[in-house]
Amino acid sequence: MAINTLNHVKKKPFYQSLPWIGPAIVVIALFVLWPAIEMFTTSFRYVNQAGQIRGWTGISNYQTLFTNSDLPGVLLRTGVWVIGVVLISVLISLPLAQMLHQKFVGRRIVRYCLIVPWAASVVMTAISWRWMLDSYYGIFNRIAQDLGFINQPYAWLGSPNIAFGWLMLVAVFVSVPFTTYVIIAGLSTIPEEILEAAKVDGANDWKRYWEIIFPLLRPALLIGIVINLINVFNSFPVIWAITQGGPGSSTDTTTTMAYKIAFKTSDIGQSASLATLNFLIILVFIGLFLRVNSRNAQKNK
Amino acid sequence: MKKIGKKIGLLSSVVLAATAVLAAPSHAASSITLVAADYDGHGATQAFWNDLAKTFQAANADIKVNVQIVNWNDINQKVATLVSTGQVPDIVNDNLYSGRAAAGLLYKVSDVLPASVVDNIIPAFLNNSTYNGVPYAVPDLASARALFYNKDILTKAGIANPPTTWAELIAAEKAIKAKVPGVYPYAIPLGPEEAQAEFAIWAGGNGGQYYTNGKWTVNSTANIKAAAFLKSQAASGYTEPHPEQCDRTKCAQALFAAGKAAFIDGAIFFPAWLKANGGSGINYGVGAFPHNEGKNAITLGVQDYFSFFNGNKNATSIGKFMSYFFQPGNYANFLKATGGFIPATKDAGAAAAKDPVLGPFIKLLPNAVFYPGTVATWGTVQGAIQQKIGGIITGSPSGVLSDIQATALKAKA
């Protein structure tokens, strides 16, 4: 294990660093800690429909949440959503990044194109997809009918499971650019000499990829995966703009469900308890992120 | 370098603190805030309230009126957020009030409005604006629903008169499907936008309601039967595909405007909407909803409210402004801006009864079922219906209704 280089620097008293990190601490306290504490305390409070806090209720909000008949399905779907979207994004991004790492005419333009879904507002993207998939006016139906694949308009968002599949596809579409760019960044850190050396030693392309490129790519890939896990788990606009999690809760994840409980059925307390649950899950992901990060930092020493 | 860093640090803290101070709401004693729903979506409601505030302020220089117009999808949430963050508004114009009354947030109507204004409100509407028997809101306007049918499609299908019973409806739908291809017989929107209205009409046609004699009856036998009927309508292909995903405006009304649906439940403002949204060529007729054999024809009456919050102790200013609003000339402008609803005042109502468009709807009102708006938890139940009722098409009608009933029983004010 490498020696931590910071140990060589003489430690200065904590307060001397305050002017530097003070503003960041203030921002974090105001915009992260305080809301999180409010959320946590609200989950033990009774908030009436009109929005007034009416005292403590112990764990009754959690009891209501865990007896909510929608919860098991929503949790299962959230798992499928997070794992599915991240996995598919990575599987698409790996070869895509490899391709964009090659030198070819027009590479810059292709790379720019890839940024578009990332740069565009997610809500805008999601609404565009909703209209493309619309059963009465959507372009998908138009094309499929003109080409003779179907005789009458098909409801692409018809059954909940198929609709959820489309939601995942849109989420993948939105996450692929970021993932690809993280991998491209990783690829550009791999020294050419190593690959040349491997070539001289007679390793074929496939072997070079799995034995050299992929292992060296792991740090970048892991960070890409963990950041994606967090983003996809929190993803609200894709689902909200396309199906609003409906009908019922059949395309909800925990994020949209928390919103609906709070604002459609006006149960702020129960919503806060679900938000707390979400927060715990996110904490696990962040823990993962920090571990991956520090492991990478140590390896780079 | 170090010094600069310190300065930046200090500066940022100061800026942050200053922002926090600036963001705090300020309430002058003579200013009242109105949060009102956007009825037309094209700026007419906004223009009306801005003008009214302006002319009112010209006569009452000591009272400032802040106007906030919010769209229907967000207004309940906006009001709840304002209340929970301590920025209590003074006047709210939307579709809920009893939950707020139960929470002690509202003035009684009699504490705010002079008797002359209250006496001019149509009693039936005022009676729907009570909590524990005491008026806590005043109606701003009302609407009723009726069956709209495309006369040309009915003629093509050889149907002389619009159906009055469910059996006649099925016969008519069969004929339309057979003779007018490319047309969905009945556009039934059970998507979240307005599903509580659509289901209330079908349930009402079978003698069912959400709330009966002081008890929630969402999963009553009559309602379950009505839900099963809707499910069979969809399964037989008499509706647009997937009614559970069809929202009222963008889906059902758009289909009717495009001549692709023969029947639809339309509100009083639907003719105006048709004209503005490409349906001016539709040759439509208006009639009563079909009902199940042995039950009565009904319509759904819907009224919206003004509720007056007591948080800022502005009773006098609110009273002055609302009295100004209900002056006949101003109120007539409001009706015009909002696009052709049934008036809530006696004098305007008498005039509207003679109106060729409004008259038939006003005649339907004695048979109207209303939402249980006087029940404090109606807001929660309405949200649950909007989100879940579509499930009767994809799943079990009794299961879905029982689920909503359970939500209604558990809901706390």
Q: DSSP string of B209-262?
A: -SEETTEE-TT-HHHHHHHHHHHHHHHTT-B-S-GGG--IIIIIIHHHHTT-EE
- Residue B344: is its pLDDT beyond 80? yes
pLDDT at residue B411 in the model: 87
Cβ of residue A64 closer than 8 Å to a chain B Cβ:
yes
> Which residues in chain B have their CB less than 8 angstroms from residue A153's CB?
241
Question: CA of A17 to nearest chain B CA: how many angstroms apart?
Answer: 9
Question: Is this complex's ipTM strictly greater than 0.90?
Answer: no
The 3-state DSSP class for residue B1 equals: coil
- Residue B24: is its pLDDT beyond 50? no
- CA-wise closest residue to B304 among B72, B115, B104: B72
Which of B8, B83, B251 is nearest residue A50 as measured by Cβ atoms?
A: B83
Rounded to an integer, the average pLDDT of B278-288 is: 93
> Which residues in chain A have their CB less than 8 angstroms from residue B72's CB?
none
Cβ B121 vs Cβ B135: under 8 Å: no
Cα-based angle A274, A275, A281 (whole degrees, multiple of 5):
95
Q: How confident is the model at residue B12 (pLDDT cuts 50, 70, 90)?
A: very low
The mean pLDDT value of chain B amounts to 90
Rounded to an integer, the average pLDDT of B193-215 is: 95
Cβ of residue A32 closer than 8 Å to a chain B Cβ:
no
The mean pLDDT value of chain A amounts to 89
pLDDT at residue B282 in the model: 96
pTM, two decimals, is: 0.82
Q: How confident is the model at residue B13 (pLDDT cuts 50, 70, 90)?
A: very low
Which of B13, B192, B242 is nearest residue A23 as measured by Cβ atoms?
A: B13
Instruction: Give the chain A residue whose CA is nearest to the CA of B76.
Output: A263
- Residue A26: is its pLDDT beyond 90? yes
Rounded to an integer, the average pLDDT of B312-323 is: 96
pLDDT digits (tens, 9 = 90+) for A9-22: 667 787 888 888 99
Query: What CA–CA distance (Å, rounded) separates A65 from A57?
Result: 14
pLDDT digits (tens, 9 = 90+) for A92-124: 999 999 999 988 999 999 999 988 888 899 999
Cβ A46 vs Cβ A57: under 8 Å: yes
Q: How confident is the model at residue B79 (pLDDT cuts 50, 70, 90)?
A: very high
Q: Which residue has the higher pLDDT, B260 or A151?
A: B260
Helix (H) or strand (E) holding B270, with range, is helix B270-276
- Residue A50: is its pLDDT beyond 90? no
pLDDT at residue A238 in the model: 95
Which of B8, B99, B240 is nearest residue A50 as measured by Cβ atoms?
A: B99
Furthest CA-CA distance within chain A: 77
Restricting to B residues 53-92, those with a Cβ less than 8 Å away from any Cβ of A are: 76-77, 79-84
